[in-house]
Structure 1
Amino acid sequence: MNNSIDVIDRLKEIHGADHYKHLAEILGVSKSGVQNWKDRNVIPYKEVCTTALEKGISLQWLLTGKGDKMESGSNAQQFTVPHYAIQASAGGGSLVEAEKIEQHLTLSRDWLAREGISSTDLIGIYAQGDSMEPTIHDGDSLLIDRTKNIIGSDGGIYVINYEGELFVKRVQKLLDGKIAVTSDNKNHMSIEISKHDLDRLTIIGRVVWFGRKVGRSYVN
């Protein structure tokens, strides 16, 4: 059986943490949370898996201390992202009907680093409809960074949940505090959400890549 203290100590080593409080700050958890892991012999699997993927560390080594510390070969330079059988409407609105992982997208860690994309909470989903054409087409794959869920004045393309429906749109915060939700296809209506109605809006994440299949290849 894996000992949680040994696992936590290996996390400390990889992250260069001087003490458990420092580790908690790095991992974005409370100090009491780390203490609970130790006291209850709980393995923090989410943090272990995230560390392994981000740092190119062997998951086996993190959990057991056995084998090589670093992943070897091409696996260390790759990162896989779950792609769900979910559609975000680029048209009139689409409810999330399934959350089944359909496939995995394999990305280069170097590419993620160059683009400044966090690997901690990425998912892939599909676009549906034509309201974001010519930028995004029906059936395109969207790579969503769920850590980017705050809308700024510069805006961007986001996946949002508005009144229970999932959309991919350009979203921007206006000077008066309203949120503008617009389509690239001018044949589709754009809306402004008032400050009083923002509780009806949830930002899922920012679209950081999109592509479509040509045979087996993705292009964007």
Structure 2
Amino acid sequence: MLNIRMGSDTGGKAAIERLLEAYGFTTKQALSEHLNVSKSTMANRVLRDSFPADWIIQCALETGVSLLWLATGQGSMKGGAEPEKSSHDENKQAIKPLSKLITPAIPKGTLENGQLSIDEEIFLDHSILPADYEESMFLETPTDCYLIDKSIKQVSNGFWLINIDGMIIVAKIMRIPGNKIVVNQDEASFECSTDDVEVIGRAVKVIKSI
């Protein structure tokens, strides 16, 4: 049985050095930015030798590095045979902060009077986002809110964010033969060619006001 010794007021400096090694960072500033903590918070942990249990758990989840090794320095860093260097380097490049996996931030846009403005971000639970959420946008209109997937450009039946003659609208579109579409917005509708509209993205989720 392993004899593990650690406490809230000891082992912090060594644990932070192991965090640097696990992430592949060379400076504590880079580690602070990845963990989304201030430099003063990092400095206080080092100065007081405070054990960073929360960072240890986050690092283990993000990197797959052995929790035992991160917490105590005992055992192997990878908990088994060391992978080849090239694989290790690839894994480091693929690391994403845990916050981005659980509550990713995506652009938040406002649509009013045919004008689209994007001036901030919104954090959403990952369970309501597409797997490839990097191309997603949260859109707020005077009446409803939409989750727009900008990676979808091939028009099919559904709700779409489109640009018509410089006016940006959310419209319900129905595709018909002859490379044409029927565009429905509020109580108005018209028929046109798919080439007459610029597709920005498809609404994959709608939040209705009541």
Normalized against structure 2, the TM-score is what?
Answer: 0.48
Greater C-alpha radius of gyration? 2
